[in-house]
């Protein structure tokens, strides 16, 4: 559209209205979430510390800060609202897996959602490797599984025999 034209003005007005609608929905969602009680996870136990000590790389300062903040959020009795961002290769998966370990150690299930089937497979392999030696069951959901395999994985999740599910969002 031509800037300053009527089509531009209409498009701009529609975008502004849509942004206001989204803002209202988000405010209502956050108000509802803040009124709900969440699950307060237990402080770190011996397996959590052992799991973290088994990490084969040295953590960055930013990773350690994020890990501490996320664990602190998880130990509060309110729904956690946090977004972890970072460039490829800077340890977001390890930060997430430590939160997953904390979750699973308290008898809860965790889901790791990724944008592609290739990334789902990569995270599955990494997760299996990181959780080796622990009584943790991991399943992957992707288009590379047959419908029967997908149903079996979903049934395991439903009946609680799977601790971690990795799949595309």
Cβ burial 36-73 (10 Å sphere, 16+ → b, else e): eeeeebeebeebbeebeeeeeeebeeebeebbeebbeb
CB 42 within 8 A of CB 106: yes
Instruction: For helices 92-105 and 117-130, give the axis angle rounded to 10 degrees.
Output: 60
pLDDT at 123: 95
Give Rg (Cα) of the chain: 20
Query: Token match 């956050």: residue?
Result: 30
> What pLDDT does residue 88 have?
83
Digit-coded pLDDT (tens) for 58-88 = 999 999 999 999 999 999 998 888 888 888 8
* Residue given tokens 């206001």 in the structure block: 20
Question: Contact at 8 Å (CB) between 74 and 56?
Answer: no
Give 1's pLDDT tier (boundaries 50, 70, 90).
confident
Tell me the mean pLDDT in the region 51-56.
96
pLDDT band at 4 (very low <50, low <70, confident <90, very high): confident
């Amino acid at each position: 559209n031509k800037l300053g034209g009527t089509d531009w003005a209409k498009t701009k007005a529609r975008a502004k209205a849509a942004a206001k609608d989204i803002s209202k929905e988000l405010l209502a969602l956050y108000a509802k979430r803040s009124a709900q009680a969440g699950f307060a996870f237990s402080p770190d136990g011996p397996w959590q510390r052992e799991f973290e000590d088994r990490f084969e790389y040295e953590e960055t300062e930013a990773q350690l800060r994020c890990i501490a903040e996320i664990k602190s959020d998880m130990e509060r009795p309110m729904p956690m609202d946090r977004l972890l961002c970072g460039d490829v290769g800077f340890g977001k998966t390890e930060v997430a897996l430590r939160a997953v370990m904390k979750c699973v150690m308290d008898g809860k299930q965790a889901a790791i959602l990724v944008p592609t089937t290739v990334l789902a497979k990569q995270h599955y392999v990494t997760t299996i490797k990181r959780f080796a030696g622990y009584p943790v069951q991991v399943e992957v959901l992707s288009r590379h599984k047959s419908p029967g395999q997908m149903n079996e994985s979903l049934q395991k999740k439903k009946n609680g025999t799977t601790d971690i599910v990795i799949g595309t969002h």
